[in-house]
Each structure stands twice: as C-alpha cells, then as structure tokens.
Amino acid sequence: MLERLNTESLPRLPADVEKPSYDRSRLTPGIVHLGLGAFHRAHQAVVTDQAMQASGDLSWGILGVSLRRPATRDALTPQDGLYTLAVRDAGPDGQEREQLRVVGSVLRVMVADEDPNAVLERIAYPQTRIVSLTVTEKGYSHEPATGHLCWDDPDILHDLENPLRPRSTIGILVHGLALRRERGLPPVTLLSCDNLRGNGDILRSLVLAFALRVDVTLTDWIDRHCTFPNSMVDRIVPVTQDHDRQRIAGRLGVEDAWPVLGEPYLNWVIEDKFAAGRPAWDALGGATFVRNAAPYERLKLRMVSGPHSALAYLGATLGLQTMAEAVNTPVLRAYVEAMMREEIAPTLRGIPDAGLEEYRRRFLERISNPALPHPLKQIAMDGSQKLPQRLLDTIRERLRAGQDIQRLTLAVAAWLHYLRGENEQGGRHDIHDPIAARLAKLLSRAEVAARAASPAQAAQRRATVLARFKPVFGNLGDSTEFVSSLTTHLEALRELGVIRAVQAAI
C-alpha cells in the first residue's frame, strides 16, 4: 500500500517531479473558487501556484468549493490540498511524454451543499479578494439563448427564500457579498473562467438581477464596487481515468487520489479589472492581461469550441470514443477544416488570415494528441448550454450577412441527431444535459409533427419544431434559411448516415 501524497511525503518525491518551492505553511486564502473541477486545477490553480512561486506573494491560496459532490474534497483533504498535474503529449518520435508537477495552491476544499453557510463565511473572509468560478456553462442558472436568469430554477427560487443556505452559484455569490457588505469589508472581484461569451458581463448581469430581488442597496454596492472581468481560458483537460492514477502513482512513489491531466498548451486571457488586487498570473507566461477579452473569447469559442462540439456529435454518432479518433477520420477532418476556413474564420474580422491559418493548424494538432485521449462524451455533454455561443452566434451573424451556413448547421443537426441516444454501431449513450427531459419531450413533439405531416413535408415539420425551441435557438426558428438547412442535414444524417451526410456538406 503506497503512502499518500501530502505535506509529509512531498519532499521525498523524485527529482524530476516539479513541486512547490515556497513555504506552504505561510499561505493565506486570497481566492475562493467555486467549481474545483479538473479544468480549474489544470489551469488557474497551476498558474496561481506559479505566480506565488515567482512573486513570493503567498496571500493567494485557494479555498476550493465543490457545489454538490464531495469526491474532490475527499480526495484532496488527506493530501493537504496537494495534487499532481500531468502534462502529456507525444514527442517528434511519437513517444508519449509526461511532465508531472505537484500543485500547492489549494489550501482546502469545502462542499457547499454540506455547509453553505461556511462558504458564505469564506466569501466574507477579510483576506478574500477574488471569488472565481469554473461551474461549467450549466452552473449559471441562465437561459443560454438570452443570458437571462432562469427565475423558475428551483435552486434560484430556494435561494431567494433561504439567504443562509443557498444552493445555486448565483445565490451563493450574492448572499456571500451581502454578508461582506454587512461586515463593512471591501469589495472583491468575481472572475468567471467558463466558456460563455462575455462570461464576466453575463455573471455581473445575473448577480445584479438576483441581488435586486434581495436588496436594492446591495445591488448598488455590488454594481459600484465589485468588478467582473471577462476572461478566456483554453486548455484541453480530459477526465482522469484510473489507469492515469496508477501510472502517476508509479512515477511519484506515492498515491495521488485525483491527479489531473492537461495538454502543454495553455492560453488564459483576462481583463485587468480587479477590485482588490490579483496574483502575478502573468508571471512565467501563465496569463495575459488585456483591456478587452472579447476578441480572444470570440476566437476561442468559434475556432476551438464550435469545431470541438461538431466533431464530438459526429464522432459519437459514428460510434467513436475519443476526439483523436474523430479528427483522424479523414472525412470528418476535411469537414471541420472546411467549416473553420469557409464559415467561421470570415466572421473573425481583424485577425490576419495567417494568424487564423496557424490557429486552425494548431487546434487540429492539439485535438489529435495521441497521449491525451479526450472522451467525446465529455465534450458532448450539456449541448443545450454550449451550442448558442459555440455555433448559433456564428450562424446568426452569417445569416445577417447573407452568407452560407451549411457546415455550421450540419454541426447543429448532429447535436439534435445525437440526442436520440444511439450511434451507428448499434450502441446507445445517455444524454447528459441540464434540460435533458425537456429535450426528450422536444424530440417527441418533433416526431409527432413529422408523422402528422405528408411524407414530403415530414422532414421540414420535424426541423421546424426543433428549431423553434427558444431556450436554445432563440429566434433562429424564424429563419427560413436556417430551418431549410437544418431540414436538409437532419434528413441526411437520418437517411444516409454521418459519413455520407458530411461528404455532402464539405
């Protein structure tokens, strides 16, 4: 039985494993982070570790909060918050390479559901200066198509009535800020690191909308004193598998219950708008501070996240398992390259073609990483929360300009086709989505409409019902071009299968 990775075993790790060189006993908690998942631990927590190592400013320890599940807390508490980041890729000889770094910036992990008041107390801690989030797109209790708060969300309704025991991200933030103001503490920065367009702006509007229902003077205090910088994060972080744990334990000589994996590439762009200071995140090339993150967000959401989702749904429906398998399927690679070059890149005005060509080449190389299997089902989840900013925004813009949307709409059709829960190998998959039940009803309604129509009209009736689902598509269902294109691609996927449907769209 191996001993555990912790403060005591840290000094005995092999010399080729990077580890914190600062005195962790001097760390103080300057950051409360909601959503302490692998994505955060493979980017912000690592960059914070580097920043403290480079600057010597140890006031940026991270108090991690898992909203629901205790697994991360249970894994990291016996490890004194320590965990391993394994950066993996393949060398020029095709051999897998792995660099291990033990990260020391996480001080403690709490579970909000178990003790929400303790989380509010941490947000109202005098040393807390940043509250950051990676709660995924579904964690904002918002309607993806509009960005508005879902007032019928059960957790939002609960939190309006239970200020001391909030359950939602927005409720926790607002009631934590209320406690902060009540104690006369200075304002903080709320930093979203999730894949939303204008993630800081969206977070600000959701927080202010909720606060307005709580106390109008609180709304004014938040609006005038707290900051909500937009940011863009780009690093591929596949879910950790048991064989990763075993391999890493073999290299460390101690057990790490939850190491995280990442690619070598990391791009973190943040608007430099902090109410109470920030770590030197730009030290050692971790983050880039800018005045306006919008162009970087737009580039990433459209040229990385959109193609990522397209390949996930097409590949999963083919019965493939990983992103590398999907992008190494010639017809899928040709399709996604054409979609990026012909339909996405032209919407990214102001960025030189050479830059976009390199960006596309690098994206395809990154997702082909043979040393970092990225499960398609991980990317395919929560499509209702992802497609608006990854694909539908681009479609809207091209429709307004009277430009072609065929390849983009095929990706949307692929999501809707994927929602049937079956692949072309006869396999089935579960649908993980916060509104999965509503989507299932939507598909049923679409089939009823198709069966009620004449054979010649069935496909269009099906696509019309689907496209008019406003929580995801907003007003796109009113576009005859979009519905017509969706009809064509949905019918091709149903009748011809993925390969031939994609060949027809390249």
Question: Which chain residues interact with ligand CS2 by CB under 6 A?
Answer: 195, 234-236, 304-305, 308, 378-379, 386
Minimal distance, residue 381 CB to ligand CS2, in Å: 7
Nearer to ligand CS2, 101 or 374 (CB): 374
Q: How far is the CB of 308 from ligand CS2 (least distance, A)?
A: 4
CB of 148 to ligand CS2, least distance (A): 22
Buried b (16+ CB within 10 A) or exposed e, 291-300: eebeebbbbb
How many beta carbons lie within 10 A of that of residue 318, not counting itself?
20
442 token code pair: 């939507």
Minimum CB distance to ligand CS2, residue 139 (Å): 13
From the CB of 230, what's the least distance to ligand CS2, in Å?
Answer: 15
Toward ligand CS2, which CB reaches closer, 296 or 469?
296
Taking the C-alpha atoms of residue 174 and residue 189, their distance in angstroms, rounded to an integer, is 13
Sheet with strand 83-90: strands edge to edge: 96-103, 83-90, 260-262
Q: List the Cα angle 409/410/411 in 5-degree steps.
A: 85
CA angle (495 as vertex; 489, 501 as ends), nearest 5: 45
What are the tokens at 182? 């009540």
Residue 234 or 297: which CB sits closer to ligand CS2? 234
* 436-454 per-residue burial string, b: 16 or more CB within 10 A, e: under 16: beebeebbeebeebbeeee
d(CA 506, CA 497): 15
Structure tokens given for 12: 């005995």
CB of 8 to ligand CS2, least distance (A): 34
Of 228 and 363, CB closest to ligand CS2: 363
State the CB neighbour count (10 A cutoff) for residue 307. 25
CB of 34 to ligand CS2, least distance (A): 17
State the DSSP code for 149: B
Shortest separation between residue 461's beta carbon and ligand CS2, angstroms? 31
Give 107 or 379: the residue with its C-beta nearer to ligand CS2.
379
**Minimum gap (Å) between residue 124 Cβ and ligand CS2:** 31
Helix (H) or strand (E) holding 495: helix 480-496
Tell me whether residue 362 or residue 451 sits nearer to ligand CS2 (CB atom): 362
Kindly provide the residue ranges of all beta strands, DSSP E only, lying in 36-181, ordered along the sequence. 61-66, 83-90, 96-103, 106-111, 130-133
Look at the chain and count its residues.
Answer: 506
The nearer residue to ligand CS2, 205 or 378, going by C-beta atoms, is 378
Per the listing, tokens 């001080």 go with 107
Give 111 or 304: the residue with its C-beta nearer to ligand CS2: 304
Output the six-digit token pair for 63.
Answer: 């108090």
Distance of alpha carbon 414 from alpha carbon 107, whole angstroms: 42
> Which is nearer to ligand CS2, 412 or 449 (by Cβ)?
412
Residue 439, phi-psi category: left (phi > 0), alpha (psi -120 to 50), beta (remainder): alpha
- Rank residues 167 and 366 by Cβ distance to ligand CS2 and give the closer one: 366
Give the dihedral sign, CA 247/248/254/258.
negative
Shortest Å, Cβ 261 to ligand CS2: 11
Instruction: Give the pairing of strands 231-234 and 267-271.
Output: antiparallel
